[in-house]
Structure formats: structure tokens, C-alpha cells
Amino acid sequence: MEKAFLPLLYLVWSDDLLSQKEVSILNTFFTENTILTDSEKKNLLSFIAVSNPPTRETLAFWKTEIFDELTQSPQIRSLFGLSLQLSGNDARFENLKPEFLELENQLGILGEEALLTFRSAANTQTSNLETLNSFDVKALQSILEGDTAGIEKQVRDLLQRPEFKYANTQETDSFREKVLDWCRILANEKLGSMAFPKEFGGGGNMKAYFAIMEALSYHDLSLVIKFGVQFGLWGMSVYFLGTEKHHIKYLSKIGTLELPGCFAMTETGHGSNVKGLETTATYDHKNQSFVINTPHPKAKKEYIGNAAVHGQMATVFAKLIIDGKDYGVNTFVVPLRDTSGNILDGIEIGDCGRKMGLNGVDNGTIRFHNVTIPKENMLDRFASVNNKGEFESPIPSDNRRFFTMLGTLVGGRIGIPKSALSAMKTGLTIAIKYSDNRRQFGPDGGSEVPILNYRIHQRRLFPHLANSYAFHFSLRYLTDRFMQRSEADAQEIEALAAGMKAYVTWNVRDSLQECREAMGGKGYLSENRIGDLKNDTEIYTTFEGDNTVLMQLVAKNRLAEFRKEFGKLDIGGMITYVFDSAKTALSEKNPYTSRRTDDEHLKDPEFHLAAFRYREKNLLSSAAMRIKKLVDGGMDAYDAFNVVQHHMIDVAKSYLERVILEQFLSKIETVSDASVRQQLVRQQQLFALNLLDKNKSWFLETGYFEPPKSKAIRKAINQLCWEIRTDAVALTNAFGIPDSLLGATVLTEK
Amino acid sequence: MEKAFLPLLYLVWSDDLLSQKEVSILNTFFTENTILTDSEKKNLLSFIAVSNPPTRETLAFWKTEIFDELTQSPQIRSLFGLSLQLSGNDARFENLKPEFLELENQLGILGEEALLTFRSAANTQTSNLETLNSFDVKALQSILEGDTAGIEKQVRDLLQRPEFKYANTQETDSFREKVLDWCRILANEKLGSMAFPKEFGGGGNMKAYFAIMEALSYHDLSLVIKFGVQFGLWGMSVYFLGTEKHHIKYLSKIGTLELPGCFAMTETGHGSNVKGLETTATYDHKNQSFVINTPHPKAKKEYIGNAAVHGQMATVFAKLIIDGKDYGVNTFVVPLRDTSGNILDGIEIGDCGRKMGLNGVDNGTIRFHNVTIPKENMLDRFASVNNKGEFESPIPSDNRRFFTMLGTLVGGRIGIPKSALSAMKTGLTIAIKYSDNRRQFGPDGGSEVPILNYRIHQRRLFPHLANSYAFHFSLRYLTDRFMQRSEADAQEIEALAAGMKAYVTWNVRDSLQECREAMGGKGYLSENRIGDLKNDTEIYTTFEGDNTVLMQLVAKNRLAEFRKEFGKLDIGGMITYVFDSAKTALSEKNPYTSRRTDDEHLKDPEFHLAAFRYREKNLLSSAAMRIKKLVDGGMDAYDAFNVVQHHMIDVAKSYLERVILEQFLSKIETVSDASVRQQLVRQQQLFALNLLDKNKSWFLETGYFEPPKSKAIRKAINQLCWEIRTDAVALTNAFGIPDSLLGATVLTEK
């Protein structure tokens, strides 16, 4: 009879969660019980004496007895059943069932679960997941690379050469020189000038240039930023803002890196609000020259790449002043150093010093003390000073001219998210491969389990993996749109680029954060690269336009488009807009669909698209309505836009998410290999469902989802993650990042 | 008549958002219009000829004309009204009103908003917010510091001495030595031994020790971690796991830093799952000694602070083996280096090298090659080997003994979130002060506006500010509970500490991320410290227990408590539990309350508490139900717990959020100064509403909120942020962080 209590006694003495309080519960139970004999009581009480606990050996003996019983009776499914068996099916014990179950409760023991302590459970579902190869990785890789596969391979091959071994990022000076050396190698391979016209030694291939940025970003990101400063910002500003005389004079030297230069726009006092720049370029009629000047310390150029050490010239953004009159911000080529690197008269250089990351880029400050440059140094594609010393421009508005100039440089806002995406892929590859190898915890009696088998670990990493696929295709789409842009869609593409830059870089930030944490201490060691990836991309959310500011711009652009399309707003028109113009949305927004929770529906791309579109339209029109109401109520429009800033971010996000989803789906349409297609479909489903889940409060608020639906979506995500687990490693292999570029020690050490 | 169109023409030519498409709309309008005369049409068409745009001067002239008209007629409130005025109230133009409004729509111009372009709007609400001093900052500071104000001041004063000037964190070797030097100064001031008993040279004051950790964390975080390794982990492990002989031999030398040491628990192969450690301590009967050995490379100790350079001894966690039998994990003092720093025979040290942060701490690996230590080096408070060479322990279960040992070291899990909170306060102080000074953008015609006046900026920073206040009081509460702990509540406090460690460090991570982005490029420069704060605290989410793992433990603890309280689960009992036992929740969960959106209700702490409690209970009981259903359905319990991992995180979070809210409210009850109290009430309201907003999808799903309520909460948060703006700087001043410790260049440079 006493044996019946062995499992309970064992649990009380061994469970690390139970406290000695339980001992006193047992004490009361044994003492007050009327079925047990005095001798049985005495024996049982002796086992729970705190002053004289069972020995370690006794505990081990109990466990063996219990284990043997369970092995002989595998059908046992409850603690009571086990105890009854141990009692030799004693009828007295059977009568004790209600009290025994009550005792279980008091002790907080869940009988079925507790059985696990005694049973070998090595063969759980969780233990059984492992990496498979269920599809053609190379086929998927070639879909990802598309028509730039050749140049990407060229870059990857180059980066695997010994001279591209990762550098010591701690020693700023040597790191900066190393990065410059790397850039020279790339220049020698004619990669830097890829987008320049062929007549100036370039490759005449802008699309290939973007592919180079993407592939380079599997390597150290200081390299890609230095490369981008030289060939993208410095080179492209001369190309797009200058005219033939500048192209002839500078472009081929920029492409060979004979002439390192800067893009000097941002000032200490004006970063986001670049229209307010204060550097001046004053026209000198007598000498037909400009005098470049920094009027006060806060007007100095800041964060300028190539400025601290290497730059010999700079495209300087400055307000043009003729005869005391301000003609708005224009651009000028200003020499900073001679060819030996000596700083020229009137130029004052500061060093931004150590940054969180990108320490291979020599960011600096530039202050101009009345520096004279010849008239021809004005980059005069959009404005010039004629021979009479008069201002001339085909674009009369200073404001519009400035934004037209910036518009030509939108390529930077495409290169940045592409670079960020590569960093994200690297991070995910490292973290997922590590998690596939790393084992920790496991069922009692079984081996430890790869941490990638844990649901929470899957939920942390896989939605980011799905995002990386989604972003990949939409950034390719953006690139193609950019390549084919015309005046008619230029502004749409500029807004899309600004939005994608912000949306992608924020998501990359989050994904690398998860990678770091998912790798625990290993993620914190520099040798595993997550830290560098995180810290280098940290500033991606700020440079080329602060993300928050960009998202406001994107939303304003959407509002302007919306007004053009739908005119004067009223509530009736709004409702018509939201419901009528989105027939699918309408069919979704009925009690039946808002409650549908079946798998087929939840995974249906038509459902995803309808929901994304409904959200986009609704957020946009409600933002327009809110602003109108505030302004109608007498609020200043500036204040009104401040009130809705938070809403505007959602307007922009919902627009971008719809575009990303559409592009993902339209890419999938083109994939013929069934197993590869299935992989992409799963990624698309996870991408869409994850966003529906993230935004579910909005869908619940609008009634588009009923609660059972949002719960079903959560469950579907967990299930998708579970299914993706076995293919996750292969899905990162399809990114095609060479091991030497991954460079994470933990993936190679034994 | 033509003048009436000047505003439209000006907008089309100057707005940076409008494209030349608009020109063609105007063209059609002018051409097809039947009211305009031929001569008027011709004039107007001449103004929109793309081949011959108006000159810059013409545009400026138009603007002046429009501006003058507006100045004379300030009552004008629409673009049409303005145009009519400009036409000289021409009756023909008045007849054009419908077509003109239609034209506005086609051009996407919102008339009222467009007026702003012409009107000077310097005096907006947004422009007018500025920092005020509306309450007694010192009074608030003294409430924050409470009864440890003295020791905190002592530490702050010490840290402002010149020898604590921040070091160069790039040069690892010198930085490590500098941090050791700093620790020596602290040891000399008897701060390190504050928690040790007085008979061993200590201060006998554990609470003061925690306050020291908190105040030290306003300085470089390598210092606080090195300090914590030496005095907390190494010292406290000897103190709590050893017995008198160890205390006598080691404690005073540890307290003076004569004996630097390590806490060697984690192994490469076993971090979270420490029960699975593989280092062995084999008892040698003949020599009455232990042989410490690392059986294979993955069993080496890793990430061990003080190991790479300075440690002379270590508390080593190893499996005790006697006569081939495994007695579970026990602890041993093992010498690593002699007093000159030479590594001893059999000890193999590795260096973890550069990490993302905390590079002033010399983390290393330790491998033992059959190192012999005398029997007395076993830390034998919970287990020992007797003279006959037999294992003895008052706790028979190896598992429970191990967790009891770890339980004594829970102080580390209190020190870490306190340290993280100080870093968060530093970051928020820097970012909020910067944002109060930094101006960017503004209304047309007005000055640029402090970025802290922008709603989105407030939404980014202020909820974190409210969190920092909330965390402050709940960490004080946790410390007090820890100081007064008894066997009865020890496990509750351990779970609370584990949970607070995870919850706070995750939030600190998020807050420092926002601080970095809110400061743009300035946040990226090392000189402004946000990068170091971010990278140093990055590992706080991993060490002293991986946050995700800890949260699972906390949730399991909650489940165990729940079962003890409510016994066998069934749906009826669950409903009773959730609804009956929470009377307030019941009264909330009715159509009237779930729809209440008035300010009084939304700011009512009773509402907050009821909602938090409802969520906690509901999540807990539903998790219990789900597990039971899965296990009842035949799933292995190990798998079942895997299925609900995501849910378990919410169980733990909701529990912690309820505790934090309760402690915040109970602290406010004690504050008598009305203006200070008002500040704290606002912070509490923002803390609570922000969490209700973050969790709103859950509240919507359960029907606890109706959609109008969740929308009203969002609005209330925006309004609270707006109200807090003028006090935000003062609220950071109340943290009392000396400027020299903030150390951000951007706050001091002119």
C-alpha cells in the first residue's frame, strides 16, 4: 500500500518547483486519512520528515521502482493509475481515488504531465524535427538572382579572394585604409564605374550597379558604404547634377578612384530639413567665381563620408547668392585636398571619430572659410549663372528645383535597402544554421533538442525569413521600375523608394536583433559577426533620410494621389471609395468572411490581398478625413499634420505592405518548379499572415476580423513555422552566401 | 480675372509634390472653359507653357501679390475665397465656383491647407511647446532614491572624480586594466564588500549593495559588470554556497580585490540548460581531493568574466563523481593563476576577444586538464563528502539541490535589471534633452521647432519614460521583498526576479533603440554614448538567464501556483476563476464598461488594474486549459509545452505588468506633494494606457474592449504625451544623473 504513494513522494522531494509547503499538505493527508493503517501512516510520515529526508539513494531507488512499473504497464495514463498499479491494485487504495485526486490538486500536480518525469519520452514530436533537403536549392537561388546572376557571381567570387579577408575593425586608421584598398580593387575590376556612361570608362549599366551593391553587402558593410559614397553619391551627383564639361573632367577619374570625393549635403544644423542648409555660395562677378562659406559652426557639413581622410573633392550643397539675393540650394564641386592628401587653404576638416559601426568609413565634418572656386564648378544641369552673372534655370521654383535635384539621386534610396537586405540574409543564415546545430534541453530521458525545434524560436526567426524573401522580390521590382522610369511615374517611384528604404531598414534592424538574441552569448561575440551587422546597419534607418521623416513624406504623397483621384472629400465619398472601389474588400467585409477560420481561406492569397488593400484604402481615407476635419475646425494645417503623424506612419506602411505582397505574389506566378514554388508560397503565406497578425487590432477594430479569425491566424502562423522548420536551412542556402563571407566562427568551429 | 488663378499657378509651379501632369489638367481647363475670354485664355495658357516656364522672379512676384491680398483680408478661409478676392470679386469668376472646386480636386489641392503656403503661420500650437519647470524636481528625486539616497550620492560623487573619466573602449587591453583600476578604487571605498558580513570586513548591507549597482550603472557598464563578477558572483557564491571555513579564508580578500575571481558555471555546450553541465569533479579517496576535468572542448567554461586576464580563482560548477557515480552539479573553488598572474598547471585559458560591448570585462574560456584541488575546496553548504568519502546532503534530490543553490544567487537577477534601468534613464535623459534643443522643420514663415514638439517623437520616447518610472518602483519593491524573504515566499521572489530581469531588460533594449533613432546621426557617434549603452546592455537579455527561457520558467511557476490554488481544471472552474474571483473584472466585462471612452474612466487606475488583472488571470487559465487539452488528447507533455510557448510568454508578461502597475500605484499613494504626485500620476497613466494599447488586440478578442474604447485609448495616449512634453526634461532631471556621467558631447557642445 505505501508503494502507491511513491510517485507523489518522489515528485515532492525532487521537483524543483515544489516547495516544502507540500510536505505539510502530505503530512495532514497521511495523518487524517481514515483508510490507512497506523503502521502505514507511520511509514509514510517517516518519508516526509524534513529533519530526516530520504537519502539520495532512496530517491533513486523509488524512481527505479516506478520506472519499472511503467515499463511493464505502458497503458497507464494517469498518476492515479500508476499509483494503483504500484499498490498492487489494492482495493482500499482504489477507494481513496477522490481524496488522492484532491491531493494531486493541492500539490499542484497535473497527473498526466507528471507521468513524464518517470517515463522515457525521447521520441517526442519536438525531438523529431530535423533539416531536410526537400527542394532544389540551386533552382531557388537562380530565381532570386534573376538576370543579375552573372554580376553577382563575379562579385561573390572576387570577395572570396584572400585580400578580402575581414579586417580588424577596432583600429580605425588601418581599417579605413583597408576599406579604401578594397575599393581600389573593385574599381580596378570596373565595378565602381558600372553605372557611368561607357564614354567615360563606365559600364553603362545601372541595374548591374545595384546588383553589385547587393552582393558587396555580404561582405563588410563599411566597404559597401565607402563604395557607395565614392561611386554612388560623389560620382552620381556629378553625373546627374552636372553637365558634359563635368562628366569629361571628373567621371573617369572618379570611376578609377583616382579622384576620391564626397557628397557634402547634411549640415550639423540641418539633417532632415535639408532645404534649410546654410552654407553659402556667393557669386563674384568680377572674378566669375563662387565663394563657398560656412557662416557659423552649426552650418558645417557633418557625417560626410570620405571627408575625414581620403576625399579630394566634394559635391557641396549650398545656397547660391547673387548680389545679395538667395537663389536656393544649388551644387558645386569644391576641392578639399591636393593629390597628396594635403588639406587646401580655407578648408577645415573634422573627424566624426568612432561610431557604433561603419568605422571603415572616414566620416568627417567640413567647414569652408571663404573658399573660392571657378564658375565652371557649379553643377549646372538644373540651374546656372549666365555670362552676365544672372541666374538661369528651367525650373523657376527654388523649392521644386531642389527636390528635382534630389529626385535624380533616388538611386541611393534603392541601394540602401538592398544592402540592408543582404545583411539581413547574412544574419538569418548565421542564426538559423546555428540554431539548427545548437541543442539545449530535451524531453526527460531523451537527447537534447536543436533549439530551432522550439516553437518560440521558430516564431522569432521565421517571420523574418519570410520578410527577407518578400523584400527581395519587391526591391527587385523597385529596381526595375526605377530603370524604366519616365517623367510620368518618377514621383511615384521616388515615394516608393523612400518608403521601401524606411520599411526594409526598420525590419532589418528588428531581424538582426532577433538573430543576436536567438544566438545567446555566441551572438554577442564579435567573431560571429552579428554585432557588426547590427551596428553597421543601425544607421541605415537614419541616413539617406530619417525613416520617420520619410514615412511622413510617403504618406503625404499618398494623400496627394488620393485627392487627385477622388477629389473633394466627404463621408459619403469616403465610404464609396473604401467599399465600392474595392469589390473584393466588400465581399470580405461580411459576417461570414470575417469569421472564416478554415485553413484554405487563411492561406488564400486572395484573402491576403483583399485584407491588405482594404487596410491601405481605409487608413488613407481616414487620414484624409481626419486632417480635413481638424482644418475645417480651425486648426492650422501644420498642427493638423502633427496630430496625425502616428496615423500617417500606418498609411505609409499599409501602402508598402500591399506593394510588397503584390510583387511577391506576381513573382510566384512565374515559378514553374512545383517544390520550389511550394517553398515560396509558404514564405508568402507566412509573410502575409504575420502582418495580418501584427495589425490584427486594427482589423478587429474595423470589424474586418471577428475574434475567432484573428485567433485562427495566430494558430496558422505557428503551424506554418513548424512546417517551415525542416526547410529553413535550405531556404538560407538559397541566398547563396559563401561560407567565407558569413565569417561566423561558431559555424565552423568543432 | 487672370489674377484669380495666381494661387493655383503658383502652387503648380512650386509644390514639390505636384508633377507636370497638373500642367496638362490646367491646360484642358483653360482651353475648354467657356467663361474666360480668348485673351484671358491666352494669357493663362502662356503661364503654363512647359517650354517657357515663368521665371523665378515671376513666381516671387506672384507670391508677393497673393501674400499682400491675404494680409489685407485675414478672414479668407478657402482657396476659392482668396482667388475671388484676387479677381476683384469678379462675378464671372464667382460663377466658376463649381468648376474651380473640381479643378482643385483634380490637382489634389486641399484648399484650406494650401492657404498655409501663403500665410505666415509662425504661431502654431506645435511651435509653442517648451520646457517648463512646473514641479519640485528635487522632491521627486528624493522619492526615487528613498532610503538609499545616502549611498547613491556617495557613489555618484565618487564617479565624478577625475580618475573616473571615461576610458577609450577601443583598446581592449588598456580598457580592461582601467576597469580593474576603477574596481580597486571602489573596493578601497569598501563598496565592493558592502553585502559581505561585517566580521569579514564587509558592510553587512545587501540593500546598499543593490543601490551601489544601480548608481554605478550611470557610469561605464563594463565597470558595473566587472564589479558584479568580482563581488556579486565570485564573492556571493563563496558566501552563499560555502561554509565558515571558506568565508574566513576568502571573503575579506575578495572584498578588497586582493583575490580576483570568477564564477565558472556556463559551458560552451550548456548555457541555458545548466543542469546538463559536463565538467567533472572526481573524488580521489586516497588523497582526499577532487580532480577537476573538462572532458571535451564543448564542456569548457565560456564567457567567464575575469577569466581571460585577472582571475586567480573560480567557483567552478561541476558534476561530482564518487566511485564512478554521478552526484549532480556541485561547486568547488579552483585556483587559476598565482598571485603574479601566471596561469597554473592544468588550466587552459582562452580569451573571448572583442564583444559587441562590455569590452572592459575580460571574458574568457577555461578548460581543466585533471586539476587536483583539496577536499576543503568543495563549497559545502548544501552537499559535502564526509570523512569516509561518502556523499552527504540535506537535500536528497540532485535536481532540487542544484536549484536551491542557484536560488541563493538570485541577487544577480535583481542587480541586472537595476543596472539596465540606470542605462535606460541615461539614454532617455540624453535623447530627451537633445530633442528639446534640436530644431528641425517648422511652419512656413515660422522658426524651426524642437523635434520634441512633434507628436511622433513624443510617442517614441515618452512611453519609455513612463516605463522607466514604473520599473524603478517595482525594482525597489523586488529588492525589498528579497531583503525580507522567508522560505515561504522564496520561490515566488525567485520567479519575480527572473521575470523582472527579462521584462525590464527587453524594455531597456527597446528604449535605447528609440533613443538612438530619435537622435539621428548624433545617436550613432560614439561620443554621445547611446551606442555604448545599447551595446553594453545588449547582452543583459541573455546573461543571468536567457530572457525567453526565464519567461517560460516564470509562466510555469505561475501555472504551478494556479493549480495549487484551483485544483483540477475544468471549463466551469476556469470561468468561475476568471470571472468570479475577479469581481472588478466582472463589473468591467459588460457592454457599458467595455464601451466607456470618457477621459475620467480611461485615466482611472481602478480601470487599469481591473484590466491588467483580468488579462493576467485569463491568459493563465487559458494556458492551463490548452496544456490540459493537448495532454488529454494524447500529446506528450513536453510537446504540449512546446506548442504553448508563445502563449506562455504572455502569461509571464501579464503577471509582471500587473505587479509593476500595482507597485507604481501603491507608491503614488505615499506621495504628498501635489505637483509631484500629479507628475507621477501622469506617468502611471501613460504606462498603463500604453500597455493596454499594446495588448489591445487581446482585449478586443476577448470582448473586454469594444472598438471605440481601444481607439479612445490611443487618443488618450497621444494627448498624455502632448501634456507631458513640457515636463519631460524635468522628469529626466529627477533621475539625478550628473552631467559628467551623461558624457554626451552633443549636450555640451556649443
Contacts of residue B564 in chain A, CB cutoff 8 Å? 105-108
Assigned CATH topology for domain A161-409: Butyryl-CoA Dehydrogenase, subunit A; domain 2 (2.40.110)
| Higher-pLDDT residue of B714, A112 | B714
- Least Cα distance to A155 among A74, A72, A223, A56 occurs for A223
- CB-based contact B26:B8 (threshold 8 Å): yes
Contact A564 B491 (CB under 8 A): no
Measured distance CA(B60)–CA(A404) in Å, rounded: 19
- Which of A134-143, A190-199, B93-102, B496-505 shows the lowest mean pLDDT across its residues? B93-102
pLDDT tens digit string along B431-461? Answer: 999 999 999 998 877 889 999 999 999 999 9
* Residues of chain B found within 8 Å of residue A59, distances taken between Cβ atoms: 396-397
CA–CA dist A265, A271 (Å, integer): 8
Closest to B697 (Cα-Cα) out of A303, A739, A365, A694: A694
Say if the Cβ atoms of B513 and A509 lie within 8 Å: yes
Residue B726: the pLDDT is 97
Contact between A521 and B628 using a beta-carbon 8 Å cutoff: no
**Residue B605 pLDDT class (50, 70, 90 cuts):** very high
How many beta-carbon contacts under 8 Å exist across A and B? 345
Q: State whether B628 and A58 contact (CB < 8 Å).
A: no
Rounded to a whole number of angstroms, the distance from the CA of A537 to the nearest CA of chain B is 11
The pLDDT confidence band at residue A185, using thresholds 50, 70 and 90, is very high
Average pLDDT of B147-152?
98
User: Span B172-177+222-406: which CATH code?
Assistant: 2.40.110.10
Calpha distance B169→B178 (Å, rounded)? 10
Instruction: Enter the C-alpha cell of residue A592.
Output: 461570414
The whole-number average pLDDT for the span B499-515 is 98
Residue limits of CATH 2.40.110.10 in chain B: 172-177+222-406
Q: Rounded to an integer, what is the distance from CA B162 to the centroid of its chain?
A: 30
Nearest-angstrom CA–CA distance, B683 and B664 = 9
d(CA B485, CA B536): 31
Q: How much is the pLDDT for A104?
A: 82
* Residue B523 CB partners (closer than 8 Å, separation 6+): A542, B431, B515, B516, B517, B530, B531
3-state secondary structure of B602: helix
Rounded CA-CA distance A142/A154 in Å is 15
DSSP state letters, A312-370 = SEEEEEEEEEETTEEEEEEEEEEE-B-TT-PBPTTEEEEE---BSS-TTS--EEEEESS
The confidence score (pLDDT) of residue A444 equals: 76
CB contact under 8 Å between A631 and B112, yes or no, is yes
Interchain proximity B456–A649, CB inside 8 Å? yes
Where does residue B341 fall: left (phi above 0), alpha (psi -120 to 50 degrees), or beta otherwise?
left
- Residues from chain A that touch B701, judged by Cβ atoms under 8 A, are 700, 707, 710-711
- Whole-number average pLDDT of chain A: 92
Q: How confident is the model at residue A586 (pLDDT cuts 50, 70, 90)?
A: very low
Q: Please check the confidence at residue B373 and state whether its pLDDT lies above 90.
A: yes
Judged by CB atoms closer than 8 Å, whether chains meet at B397 and A546 is answered as no
Amino acid at B59: L
Fold of A413-745: Butyryl-CoA Dehydrogenase, subunit A; domain 3 (1.20.140)
Give me the residue from A105, A172, A542 closest to B563, CB to CB: A105
Domain boundaries for CATH 2.40.110.10 within chain A: 161-409
For B413-747, CATH gives 1.20.140.10
CB contact under 8 A, B112 and A399: no
Q: Which helix (H) or strand (E) holds B291?
A: strand B289-293
| Mean pLDDT of the B121-137 span | 85
Handedness of CA A135, A137, A140, A142 (dihedral sign): negative
pLDDT score of A573: 57
Partners of residue A319 in chain B, C-beta under 8 Å: none
Chain B residues closer than 8 Å to A552 by CB? 456
In the block, residue with C-alpha cell 510537446 = B639
Tell me if A693 sits within 8 A of A463, measured CB to CB: no
> In chain B, which residues have their Cβ closer than 8 Å to the Cβ of A560?
17-18, 108
Q: Decide if A297 and B750 are in contact by the 8 Å CB cutoff.
A: yes
Closest partner CB to B642 (pick from A110, A126, A696)? A126
pLDDT at A445: 73
* Cell 486594427, residue located: A698
pLDDT category of residue B17 using cuts at 50, 70 and 90 = very low
List A313's β-bridge partners, or say none.
A261, A335
Question: What is the Cα–Cα distance from B508 to B424, expressed in whole angstroms?
Answer: 6
Residue of B22, B169, B275, B642 to mutate, testing the A interface (most A Cβ within 10 Å of its Cβ): B642
- From A354, A539, A642, residue closest to B126, measured CB to CB: A642
- For residue B584, pLDDT over 90 is answered with no
Give the minimum alpha-carbon distance from B143 to chain A in angstroms, rounded to a whole number.
34
pLDDT surpasses 80 at B51: no
At which residue does the C-alpha cell 531536410 appear? A132
Instruction: Please say if the pLDDT value at position A581 is more than 50.
Output: no
Confidence (pLDDT) at B576: 57
Q: CATH 1.20.140.10 region(s) of chain B?
A: 413-747
Chain segment A493-503, per-residue pLDDT in tens? 999 999 999 99
Residue B101 and residue A568: Cβ atoms within 8 Å? Answer: yes
Would the pLDDT of B592 be above 80? no
Residue B397 backbone zone (phi > 0: left; psi -120 to 50: alpha; other: beta): beta
Q: Which residues of A touch B487 (CB under 8 A)?
A: 19-20
Are A396 and B13 in contact (CB < 8 Å)? yes
Interface test with A, best of B112, B530, B553 (most A CBs within 10 A): B112
CA angle B720/B724/B726 to nearest 5° reads: 145
Q: Is the pLDDT of residue A565 over 80?
A: no
CB atoms A124 and B646 under 8 Å: no
Cβ distance of B642 and A560 shorter than 8 Å: no
Contact B455 A102 (CB under 8 A): no
Mean pLDDT of B247-275: 96
Please tell me the distance in Å from B144's CA to the nearest CA on chain A. 31
CB contact under 8 A, B266 and A707: no
Instruction: Look at B272 and A121 and tell me if their CB atoms are within 8 Å.
Output: no
Report the chain A residue with the minimal C-alpha distance to residue B119. Answer: A636
Q: Which residue of B has its CA nearest to A460?
A: B646
Taking CB atoms and an 8 Å limit, are B542 and A521 in contact across chains?
A: yes
pLDDT above 60 (res B586): no
Measured between CA atoms, how close is B672 to chain A, in angstroms?
A: 34
- Residue B281 contacts residue B321 (beta carbons within 8 Å): yes
Measure the CA dihedral B275/B281/B285/B288, to 10°.
-120
Give per-residue pLDDT as tens, B676-694. 999 999 999 999 999 999 9
pLDDT digits (tens, 9 = 90+) for A232-248: 999 999 999 999 999 99
Kindly report, residue by residue over B560-576, the tens digit of the pLDDT.
888 877 665 555 555 55
Q: What is the ipTM of this complex?
A: 0.91
Distance in Å, alpha carbon of A170 to nearest chain B alpha carbon:
6
Smallest CA–CA distance, residue B174 to chain A, in Å, is 13
Whole-angstrom CA distances from A353 to A171, A172, A174, A193, A303 are 12, 9, 14, 29, 10
* Phi and psi torsions of B140, nearest 5°: -65, -40
Top residue of A517, A546, A577, A691 to mutate, by most chain B CBs within 10 Å, is A517
**Facing residue for A697 by CB, picked from B13, B649, B700:** B700
Please tell me the least confidently modeled range out of A611-625, A728-742, B220-234: A611-625
Residue located via cell numbers 559563401: A738
Chain A positions touching B643 (Cβ under 8 A) are 455, 718
What is the structure's pLDDT at A421?
Answer: 98
> Which of B393, B525, B562 faces A353 most closely, judged by CB atoms?
B525
Query: DSSP H helical segments within B438-546, as ranges?
Result: 455-483, 490-518, 520-524, 530-537
Residue A373 backbone phi and psi in degrees, to 5: -130, 150
Most B CBs within 10 Å: which of A525, A628, A641, A749, as the mutation test of the B interface? A525
Cβ–Cβ below 8 Å for A563 and B639: no
CB contact under 8 A, A121 and B638: yes
- Cβ pair A700:B718 closer than 8 A: no
